[in-house]
Amino acid sequence: MLSNLRIFAVSHQTIPSVHVNNICCYKVRASLKRLKPHVPLGRNYSSLPGLIGNDIKSLHSIINPPIAKIRNIGIMAHIDAGKTTTTERILYYSGYTRSLGDVDDGDTVTDFMAQERERGITIQSAAVTFDWKGYRVNLIDTPGHVDFTLEVERCLRVLDGAVAIFDASAGVEAQTLTVWRQADKHNIPRICFLNKMDKTGASFKYAVESIREKLKAKPLLLQLPIGEAKTFKGVVDVVTKEKLLWNSDSNDGKDFERKPLLEMSDPELLKETTEARNALIEQVADLDDEFADLVLEEFSENFDLLPAEKLQTAIHRVTLAQTAVPVLCGSALKNKGIQPLLDAVTMYLPSPEEHNYEFLERISRLLLPFADQHVEIPLLTAGNIALTVGLKHTATGDTIVSSKSSALAAARRAEREGEKKHKHNNEAERVLLAGVEIPEPVFFCTIEPPSVSKQPDLEHALKCLQREDPSLKVRLDPDSGQTVLCGMGELHIEIIHDRIKREYGLETYLGPLQVAYRETILNSVRATDTLDRTLGDKRHLVTVEVEARPIETSSVTPVIEYAESISEGLLKVSQEAIKSGIHSACLQGPLLGSPVQDVAITLHSLTIHPGTSTTMISACVSRCVQKALKKADKQVLEPLMSLEVTVARDYLSPVLADLAQRRGNIQEIQTRQDNKVVIGFVPLADIMGYSTVLRTLTSGSATFALELSTYQAMNSQDQNTLLNRRSGLT
């Protein structure tokens, strides 16, 4: 019986059907050979868990661990904070790989897409499974680049907890804020890991402060670093008052020394740790009444007598309640601090039964993931993460349930509990449960197959990629008939292009990358239209009057209103047709053919000759709305991006001068260690290809993060230049 199964759709090659027993080893082995191109060079298949030879037995033990011993967690962070490196260390220390993968050498387990290996970045989330001290951990490594923010969000939906990784020399960065907000939205308890403690400029204090200030979170300091930057050699466990030192001679970090802090050998460190522990106890007591009672009743005289386990249990509760976040530190690259991080994952993050889910779900074919390798499994108990294949109509963000009636029951329950928003929707809509929020694409470009005969193959490839990645939008240009790709950023579209080539064997041609503008109207206008057509012996006759007026919504979905004079009976038969006519008209504005935002359409009158088809009603309404939009005063809106550039002091001036030329609006310049952080806004049209320019300007020392902030009105001069360029006048 499957229950509480959360679906996390990824496109992977599946392996032939296998049952988990020894007889099937050969089959697994054969399929792994077929998957060989994905397996990192220099890595041994036998290092993959539970898939080979004798190791296959271990799958029995890991498939069905008790639910309390399962942790479904994600790793999330700003780009380059070290998620993949940390994941590699985790897999190594938990015994699931026999060598340490390195992003810089392109041989990690979780970055298994060719593009990830080549670029040293994570694009697609990878799921891996391993055991740690009797716990089963399902872990998802998510991308840090802002172009793949949807990928992060779809992972968060299936997780019970997350580890947020920070670069200790940078603290909270732009994308950390985004993923933190996403985790807030999905109520995911977190622990923080301050990575790169070995790096020049690393500062535990600075990073903790930035968590407090920028994330508005309460950090619980469970560790203190021993040394910083070049001198970093270990951590102090504040809860147990022990020091953990990694032997600098042992380069894989497997062995380390854990010793109680003693007055004789470490008087200073002991004093500092005792103070930190007392502060931690007070902080947790403030947040947890049960713990406060315990401390007051039994240990108020001497906090030293409070057993570590009592404090750990209270920290677990506080973490689950999300009133504070445990903070740990280390250096994944230098192999320090990873084992205590794993202990903290099992100790403080929730098991699936502690994370409240509404539904029980059932599905027929399941695969146990290990990055790009899978084993089909016969069943799965509650609380696990698995992959499923072959679902034809299911896309990322959907919730799969056992039956419509259970979904309706769940929806009714949600409604009773206050989610009234579905109340007025029809039944089909009510069974749709909370999905992932799909960000609006800001770039588009045309894509063409090498020959017309390959068009169906291209359509198939795009359909598959879209199901996996809903932030990729595909549409047909009605004028040219060309296929248009809409995506989150330059890198996003580049990767899609590359994947079509590598995974579907199709060489395609991309047109120039263009900014996705929008349009709006500035005044109210009315228009009337009549459609009178006879097809065969049937007359289709519609007369309609609409009014278009500007409103403030920041949405491309038009608000639709009906005048009181329109009878309910008429609306009943034609409402869907009217809606679709209005929507299609607003998808292509009169200025640039871009979506129209911030507009309300009122239907003032409608007469329909009996026998008129709904298609004709829709066509007439659409034409009439387009007429009205054309008559109005119009305005182009352009995407305004929020930008954060981190740059060494010496390069600040050229970066600022360059941004000024790009219509950049600088809001603030912060100091972060030896770096300056420039925060501001810049129109997307002026920031295309910025990574190359920034690299040249700063000799590769700067990084930046870009995110859609809003759509803003263009000034008339810029708008005219754009319109002239589009119409071929300049």
Ligand X SMILES: Nc1nc2c(ncn2[C@@H]2O[C@H](COP(=O)(O)OP(=O)(O)OP(=O)(O)O)[C@@H](O)[C@H]2O)c(=O)[nH]1
For the annotated binding site for GTP, the residues are: 77-84, 141-145, 195-198
Write down the least CB distance from residue 106 to ligand X, Å.
10
CA angle 279, 280, 285 (to 5 degrees): 100
- Judged by CB under 6 A, the residue of 144, 219, 369, 489 near ligand X is 144
| Residue 143 binds ligand X (CB under 6 A) | yes
- Judged by CB under 6 A, the residue of 103, 183, 338, 495 near ligand X is 103
| Residue 106 binds ligand X (CB under 6 A) | no
Write down the least CB distance from residue 386 to ligand X, Å.
23
Q: How many residues bind ligand X (CB under 6 A)?
A: 24
Q: What is the signed CA dihedral for 97, 102, 105, 111, rounded to 10 degrees?
A: 80
| Residue 196 binds ligand X (CB under 6 A) | yes
Write down the least CB distance from residue 699 to ligand X, Å.
17
| Residue 331 binds ligand X (CB under 6 A) | yes
Cα–Cα dist 676/689, whole Å: 22
Stretch that binds ligand X, among 22-30, 193-201, 560-568, 707-715 (CB under 6 A): 193-201
- HEC string of 320-368 equals HHCCCEEEEECECCCCECHHHHHHHHHHHCCCHHHCCCCCCCCCCCEEE
Give the count of alpha carbons within 13 A of 154, CB side only: 25
Closest CA to 689 of 493, 449, 420, 429: 493
> Residue 85 or 97: which CB sits closer to ligand X?
85
> Residue 115 or 394: which CB sits closer to ligand X?
115
> Residue 536 or 700: which CB sits closer to ligand X?
700
Write down the least CB distance from residue 417 to ligand X, Å.
37
Closest CA to 664 of 700, 699, 693, 695: 693
> Residue 331 or 675: which CB sits closer to ligand X?
331
Residue nearest to ligand X (CB): 144
Cα–Cα dist 187/206, whole Å: 26
Write down the least CB distance from residue 434 to ligand X, Å.
26
Cα–Cα dist 468/152, whole Å: 13
- Judged by CB under 6 A, the residue of 198, 469, 545, 644 near ligand X is 198
Binding string, residues 78-97; x marks residues near ligand X by CB under 6 A: -xxxxxxx------------
How many Å from the N-terminal Cα to the C-terminal Cα in the chain? 66
Stretch that binds ligand X, among 75-83, 497-505, 607-615, 621-629 (CB under 6 A): 75-83
DSSP SS3 for 698? coil
Instruction: State the CB neighbour count (10 A cutoff) for residue 451.
Output: 7
- Which residues on neighbouring strands pair with residue 258, listed in sequence order? 244
Write down the least CB distance from residue 498 to ligand X, Å.
16
Residue type present at position 100: L
Binding string, residues 33-52; x marks residues near ligand X by CB under 6 A: --------------------
DSSP 8-state code for residue 295 = I
Asked whether the beta carbons of 622 and 527 are under 8 A apart, the reply is no
Write down the least CB distance from residue 330 to ligand X, Å.
7
- Judged by CB under 6 A, the residue of 120, 227, 435, 511 near ligand X is 120
> Residue 229 or 308: which CB sits closer to ligand X?
229
Write down the least CB distance from residue 334 to ligand X, Å.
6
Asked whether the beta carbons of 319 and 186 are under 8 A apart, the reply is no
Asked whether the beta carbons of 444 and 477 are under 8 A apart, the reply is no
Cα–Cα dist 374/386, whole Å: 10
> Residue 160 or 198: which CB sits closer to ligand X?
198
Q: Both tokens of residue 688?
A: 């295309």
Write down the least CB distance from residue 670 to ligand X, Å.
22
- Judged by CB under 6 A, the residue of 9, 10, 63, 77 near ligand X is 77
Dihedral sign for Cα atoms in the order 503, 509, 514, 516: negative
- Judged by CB under 6 A, the residue of 48, 211, 215, 332 near ligand X is 332
DSSP 8-state code for residue 297 = I
Which residues make up each annotated binding site? 77-84, 141-145, 195-198
- Judged by CB under 6 A, the residue of 121, 156, 472, 655 near ligand X is 121
> Residue 148 or 444: which CB sits closer to ligand X?
148
> Residue 370 or 444: which CB sits closer to ligand X?
370
Write down the least CB distance from residue 597 to ligand X, Å.
32
| Residue 333 binds ligand X (CB under 6 A) | yes
> Residue 334 or 518: which CB sits closer to ligand X?
334
| Residue 161 binds ligand X (CB under 6 A) | no
Footprint of ligand X on residues 199-218 (CB under 6 A)? 199
- Judged by CB under 6 A, the residue of 72, 122, 210, 626 near ligand X is 122
Residue type present at position 180: W
Q: Both tokens of residue 479?
A: 């004028």
Residue type present at position 227: G
Residues 6+ apart with CB under 8 A from 616: 531, 533, 540, 542
How does 545-556 read in b/e, with b if 16+ C-beta sit within 10 Å?
A: bbbbbbeeeeeb
Stretch that binds ligand X, among 119-127, 447-455, 556-564, 570-578 (CB under 6 A): 119-127
Write down the least CB distance from residue 215 to ligand X, Å.
17
> Residue 21 or 250: which CB sits closer to ligand X?
250
Closest CA to 32 of 10, 16, 56: 16
> Residue 111 or 131: which CB sits closer to ligand X?
111
Task: Name the strands in the sheet holding 135-141, side by side, starting at the edge strand that comes first in the sequence.
Answer: 126-132, 135-141, 70-77, 161-167, 190-195, 325-329, 219-221
> Residue 207 or 617: which CB sits closer to ligand X?
207
Whole-angstrom CA distances from 161 to 301, 369, 447, 543, 602 are 35, 18, 39, 57, 46
Residues 6+ apart with CB under 8 A from 246: 233, 234, 253, 255, 256, 257, 334, 335, 336
> Residue 173 or 361: which CB sits closer to ligand X?
173
Write down the least CB distance from residue 672 to ligand X, Å.
16
Write down the least CB distance from residue 585 to ligand X, Å.
41
Asked whether the beta carbons of 709 and 641 are under 8 A apart, the reply is yes
Which residues of this chain interact with ligand X, rule CB under 6 A? 77, 79-85, 103-104, 120-122, 143-145, 195-196, 198-199, 331-334
